[in-house]
Amino acid sequence: MTVPFYTSIREYEARKGEFDAAVQGVMGRGDFILGGEVAEFERECADYLGSKYAVGVASGSDALILGADVLGYKDGAEVLTPTFTFFASTSCVARLGGKPVLVDMDEETLNMCLEDAGKKITKKTKGIIPVHLFLQPTPMQGVMDMAKANSLSVLEDAAEGWGMESLVDGTWRKAGTIGAMGIYSFFPTKTLGAYGDAGLMATDDEGLYAKLKSYRVHGSSIKYQHDYIGYNSRLDTMQAAILRVKLKTTKEAIAARAAHAAHYTQRLAGIPGLRIPGVRQDAKPVYYVYNILVPNRDGLAERFKDKGIGYSIYYPKPLHLQKCFAYLGHKEGDFPVAEKVSKEIIALPMYPELKADEVEYICDTIKAFY
């Protein structure tokens, strides 16, 4: 048996008619740039997320750059961001001339450690980028309380957080809709994945919304009149059409992921040394990624290769040890939890179309290895 880490083919084959019709519709109309499907998709996303506004952009990475720019994470401003995350969560600040202030992680839940973040706030701190990693959001009550007490803005990196929820002031709210602004990635592997690059930004603030819409088209709201030095970052109409097909069944897709996660958790219980991240009481998880933390991780990865099982390692090197961030002056040992987790973590196949016998095969392989 071979089990891919990710495949779009099973989904495409199951719903080929719908996807083909969506793409052909765009080609038939020829409205390729910010066509009707983009506005419809933005409206549907805002409804699903419970946010006032949504703006489609070219990718999650672009969404972070636009967000960081609009929120002023530049010119020496300090911004708290985790060391254990995807590169773009931090590079967005660095590329604009802001100073990423790296924060260690919580070993149990894999999100940013708010206690460590609190210790790093200075007079220059302007914002915080909580990243909702893998399966559950950063504790947003704590983030919002810290932001309020220190006059920080919050840019939520919900690239991986589609559908996750956080309990804030007694209300369940979707990840990415709680801070000033939230961003999502529709990279193909994501919980809501496009068939190419795509991203989105959500906000309740009318002023930020207007700016974001303008920033994605070179800082212009009226053609050839430029109020800002913006970007060229539009959500592609073809991707919006594909995403609308998938958005219709996003709840079912999330439920299928949860069922696979429960299956893994049940079958992997009791393996000596193997740990499964815990879910907090104030979080409703979405299994974008199913991770385990294990001794001899690289040995297990080799066994997976022999057995035809796909896997991924998110993330093998925390950002404080990346060459491009050497100027921040960190060294090995500065973020002990992130360094430990990066050596133990491994992600197992997780997508709605995964089959129960594939989960069994993966779990049997892990059990036999240990």
Cβ proximity to ligand PLP, 125 vs 239, nearer residue = 239
- Minimum distance between the CB of residue 314 and ligand PLP, rounded to whole angstroms? 8
Beta bridge partners of 81: 102
Contact footprint for ligand PLP (CB under 6 A)? 59-61, 85-86, 88-89, 131, 157, 159-160, 185, 187, 197, 199
Tell me the C-alpha distance between 215 and 208, whole Å: 10
Exposure of 267 by Cβ count < 10 A (0-12 exposed, 13-18 middle, 19+ buried)?
middle
- Minimum distance between the CB of residue 156 and ligand PLP, rounded to whole angstroms? 10
- Indicate the SS3 state at residue 233: coil
Exposure of 94 by Cβ count < 10 A (0-12 exposed, 13-18 middle, 19+ buried)?
buried
Please report how many Cα atoms fall inside a 13 Å half-sphere around the Cα of residue 316, on the Cβ side. 6
- Minimum distance between the CB of residue 322 and ligand PLP, rounded to whole angstroms? 15
Phi, psi (degrees; rounded to nearest 5) at 182: -135, 150
- Minimum distance between the CB of residue 194 and ligand PLP, rounded to whole angstroms? 9
Tell me the C-alpha distance between 224 and 222, whole Å: 6
Task: Find the residue with minimal CB distance to ligand PLP.
Answer: 60
* Dihedral in degrees, nearest 10, Cα atoms 201, 206, 208, 210: 90
Taking residue 270's Cβ as centre, other Cβ atoms within 10 Å add up to 7
- Minimum distance between the CB of residue 159 and ligand PLP, rounded to whole angstroms? 3
Cβ proximity to ligand PLP, 60 vs 349, nearer residue = 60
Cβ proximity to ligand PLP, 66 vs 261, nearer residue = 66
- Minimum distance between the CB of residue 152 and ligand PLP, rounded to whole angstroms? 19
- Minimum distance between the CB of residue 242 and ligand PLP, rounded to whole angstroms? 15
Tell me the C-alpha distance between 210 and 170, whole Å: 30
Tell me the C-alpha distance between 140 and 186, whole Å: 22
Cβ proximity to ligand PLP, 88 vs 240, nearer residue = 88
Q: What is the largest CA-CA distance in the chain?
A: 65
Cβ proximity to ligand PLP, 59 vs 177, nearer residue = 59
